[in-house]
Amino acid sequence: MNVFCLKPIKPDHESWPASRVGSKIEWVKIWASSEDDARYKVARATDVPESELPQKPAKHKYAKICYWPSPWELDYVTSCNVDTSKPLPGNHILLSDCRTL
């Protein structure tokens, strides 16, 4: 297990309303077994209720409604790297403003 640090790299992307932790946050750190695991854990911990998920623009009038995934799962919206700084205590998600989830 490693500590991963996820950072917003596209703060204006349309998927940010899908996260309770907005793009203004500097970073998020979490213990995980892989980059995919880190992204998944942060995404699930910061999900908004399904009724608040942002919709993707419709391609045509009768198109199926599609929702944006969490920005934490999109590698072109957030970076995710192994963090070699001071280790995290316990099994928390640590935000740059010192809150835990």
| DSSP string for residues in the chain | -EEEEEEES-TT-TTGGGBSS-TT---EEEEESSHHHHHHHHHHHHBPPGGGPPBPPPSSTTPPP-BPPPGGG-TTTEEEEE--SSPPPTT-EEETTS-B-
Residue 30 has a CB neighbour count (10 Å cut-off) of 25
Domain ranges of the chain: 2-95
Given pLDDT bands bounded at 50, 70 and 90, which one contains residue 81? very high
Mean pLDDT of all residues in 16-31: 87
Global pTM? 0.81
